[in-house]
Amino acid sequence: QVQLVESGGGLAQPGGSLRLACTASGFTFSNYAMSWARQAPGKGYEWMTGISTDSRQTYSIDSVKGRFTISRDNAKNTLYLQLNNLKPEDTALYFCAKGKGVTVSAVLGEYDYWGQGTQVTVSS
């Protein structure tokens, strides 16, 4: 069965960094677009960034461009998210999501499997 397991969350100070990982199993990881989304306290899910199967194309929302970097290692079946220059408004539960195909989409309905999430808290 498909499994996505996130790790690497925690407490960071404003301006700090974290690196999230998402380990995938139960499907051919290299055949699917992948994305990261988040849910801030009291808010809905927000798609943040996605990556194509071969890593040649990445897409991000404006609020994380230049601060967050998505990457993947198909040999290790792992998706990454490097978070730099963190801000208090980045506090959220972060999820990785498997695309339904090769196309990266900002539409959450285009993702069919999600991890359980890893908490990122940014506070001084």
pLDDT digits (tens, 9 = 90+) for 107-123: 999 999 999 999 999 99
Percent of the chain residues past pLDDT 70, beyond the cut: 100
* Alpha helix segments (H runs only) across the chain: none
Task: Summarize pLDDT for 38-51 with one digit per residue, the tens.
Answer: 999 999 999 999 99
Residue with token string 């290692």: 73
Bridge-based pairing state of the strands 58-60 and 45-51: antiparallel
Q: Supply φ then ψ for residue 106, to 5 degrees.
A: -90, 0
The secondary structure of residue 39, as a DSSP letter, is: E
- Classify 101 as helix, strand or coil: coil
- For residue 94, what are its two tokens? 């972060």
Q: Distances from the Cα of 97 to the Cαs of 37, 59, 86, 119, 123, in angstroms?
A: 7, 14, 22, 15, 26
Confidence at residue 88, expressed as pLDDT on a 0 to 100 scale: 96
Residue with token string 């009291």: 42
Task: Summarize pLDDT for 62-88 with one digit per residue, the tens.
Answer: 999 999 999 999 999 999 999 999 999
